[in-house]
């Protein structure tokens, strides 16, 4: 998906600082239900060597559809303030927002990461709203603290 987002021209490289032992997951597992005939077509293409496996086929199909509808993505990003790609919110950034009396309205298309050292209280004090089209990585306690602010 990140390749498709880069094709849209909206992804800026972002450095992520993590503590030793912290792992940023670069993909998320989803479940897709397919009819038997569609699945048979996928398996045929895999067996003929067109794709390495089912996952390769599905990733390619998703990227193709994202590229096909890139104009919708561009228009939406132009209308709304959306950060695309990987966005990391660390304790220092959220503390600075709280100190300035600013509550952040966060909108991310991709992966939003709230650092492991961010407390639920700090998250509530510094984040007014949170909308993630993709995946949110945060501690369970922070997710619970922001549950009423998730869109």
36-91 residue pLDDT tens: 899 899 999 999 999 999 999 999 999 999 999 988 888 877 777 888 889 999 99
Percent of the chain with pLDDT over 70: 82
> Which pLDDT band, with edges at 50, 70 and 90, does 27 fall under?
confident
Q: How many residues belong to the chain?
A: 151
Helix (H) or strand (E) holding 85: strand 83-89
Instruction: Flag whether pLDDT at 140 surpasses 90.
Output: yes
Work out the widest C-alpha separation in the chain, in whole angstroms: 60
Q: 59 and 32 in contact (C-beta within 8 Å)?
A: no
Instruction: Flag whether pLDDT at 1 surpasses 70.
Output: no
pLDDT of residue 20: 47
- pTM comes to 0.60
């Amino acid at each position: 998906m990140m390749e498709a987002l880069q094709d849209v021209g909206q992804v800026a490289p972002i450095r992520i600082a993590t503590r030793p032992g912290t792992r940023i997951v670069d993909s998320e597992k989803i479940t897709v239900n397919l009819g038997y005939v569609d699945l048979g077509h996928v398996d045929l293409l895999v067996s003929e060597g067109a794709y390495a496996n089912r996952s390769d086929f599905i990733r390619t199909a998703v990227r193709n559809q994202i590229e096909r509808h890139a104009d919708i993505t561009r228009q939406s990003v132009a209308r709304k303030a959306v950060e695309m790609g990987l966005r990391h919110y660390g304790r220092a950034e959220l503390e600075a927002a709280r100190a300035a009396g600013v509550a952040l309205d966060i909108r991310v298309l991709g992966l939003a990461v709230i650092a492991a050292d961010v407390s639920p209280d700090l998250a509530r004090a510094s984040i007014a709203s949170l909308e993630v089209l993709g995946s949110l990585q945060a501690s369970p306690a922070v997710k619970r603290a922001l549950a009423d602010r998730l869109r």
